[in-house]
Amino acid sequence: MSDEQTVAVEVVGIEQVTPLIKHFKLAPVGGGTLPVFSGGSHIIVVMRGADRVHKNPYSLLGSPSELDTYEIGVRRMEESRGGSHFMHDQVVVGSRLEIAHPINLFGLDKIARKHVLIAGGIGITPFLAQLEDLHGGGVPYELHYSVRSHEHAAFLTRLHRREGERLHMYYDSEGQMIPFETLLANQPLGTHVYVCGPAGMIKHVIATAQSCGWPDSHIHWEQFSAPPVGDAFEVFLARSQLSVHVPPDQSLLESIEAAGVEVPYLCRGGVCGFCHTRVLELDGTLVHNDHFLSDADKAKGKSIMPCVSRAQCKRLVLDL
């Protein structure tokens, strides 16, 4: 994505839906409609802060058939690098932001015979749009939604009204757990499972499905990692002949962009693989934080996903 491909939007509505989650409505500046998307898509929101530009992925949670506005849900992260705090503290109705066109890395399987959706916390957001695609489709589905407590159950009124008995709620505060094993051991052939939520939950769902004999082609998940903080390091961009300093709280990708070098990306969360970059030289170790490279590729140390991964080294040379 380059800046020319962004769409200028204005914040037209903000609602605090839980103590940690704000719901934003974005409309195109100057009117008109926004690009078409399918359930499960995300956008990158570009936030121009005082000292830094943040670009974070957020799932679109509104109906794909309503393109006057986009809706996103932003959870305030405790260890925010600034993006979620910016959205929560700086953005008000009337604020202007830039967004990238929607990308779907978490689409529904079009010929599934049944869908089982599993959400944890803010992980509910991609499902809200997918549910709009499922309504009236004739394919059975069920949603299992786990939250900390009643006050943290975002978008519950909307879900209750539209999903009825297909919604299954689980509250940590009441000791309720999604019965993953029972749920996944008894699904008809042709069922697909989708999970979005905390890393531990996603891992557990994948492992449980596999132990129940599910093949990988029926298991879908999405988790955008925020770029973790780490030690500062230096990187040399071989093709651009540029040295770039990566501070502890800025990602490799952000640092490279700040130096004026463009790297293609789609998700900025370690999922899509678009920012895959070749490592030419390294005198230390790579800290891989992505979900894209295989363990074998990570061990080889020949490539890196600069959106979320870092290095502990004296010298890193990239093919950029």
Residues that bind other proteins (CB under 8 A): 109, 111-113, 184-191, 209-210, 212-218
Nearest to 275 by CA among 292, 260, 259: 292
What is the smallest separation between the CB atom of 190 and other proteins, expressed in angstroms?
A: 3
Tokens matching residue 32: 């008109």
Angle at 162 between CA 166 and CA 130, to 5 degrees: 75
Given the complex with other proteins, which of 2 and 217 has the nearer CB atom? 217
What is the smallest separation between the CB atom of 260 and other proteins, expressed in angstroms?
A: 44
Given the complex with other proteins, which of 186 and 294 has the nearer CB atom? 186
Nearest to 162 by CA among 119, 187, 127, 118: 127
Given the complex with other proteins, which of 69 and 187 has the nearer CB atom? 187
What is the smallest separation between the CB atom of 259 and other proteins, expressed in angstroms?
A: 43
Q: Cβ distance 134 to 63 under 8 Å?
A: no
173 Cβ contact partners less than 8 Å away, ≥ 6 residues apart? 148, 149, 150
What is the smallest separation between the CB atom of 132 and other proteins, expressed in angstroms?
A: 22
Q: Cβ distance 143 to 156 under 8 Å?
A: no
Q: Cβ distance 24 to 94 under 8 Å?
A: no
What is the smallest separation between the CB atom of 213 and other proteins, expressed in angstroms?
A: 3
CA 201, CA 119: separation in Å to the nearest integer?
A: 9
Given the complex with other proteins, which of 33 and 210 has the nearer CB atom? 210
What is the smallest separation between the CB atom of 142 and other proteins, expressed in angstroms?
A: 14
Token pair 């132990």 is found at 211
Given the complex with other proteins, which of 193 and 293 has the nearer CB atom? 193
Given the complex with other proteins, which of 85 and 218 has the nearer CB atom? 218
What is the smallest separation between the CB atom of 192 and other proteins, expressed in angstroms?
A: 8
Given the complex with other proteins, which of 110 and 161 has the nearer CB atom? 110
Instruction: Please state the φ and ψ torsions of residue 23, each to the nearest 5 degrees.
Output: -110, 120
Given the complex with other proteins, which of 180 and 265 has the nearer CB atom? 180
Residue 60 DSSP code = B
178 Cβ contact partners less than 8 Å away, ≥ 6 residues apart? 118, 144, 146, 168, 170
User: Within 13 Å of residue 77, how many CA atoms lie on the same side as its CB?
Assistant: 16
What is the smallest separation between the CB atom of 272 and other proteins, expressed in angstroms?
A: 22
AA letter at 146 = S
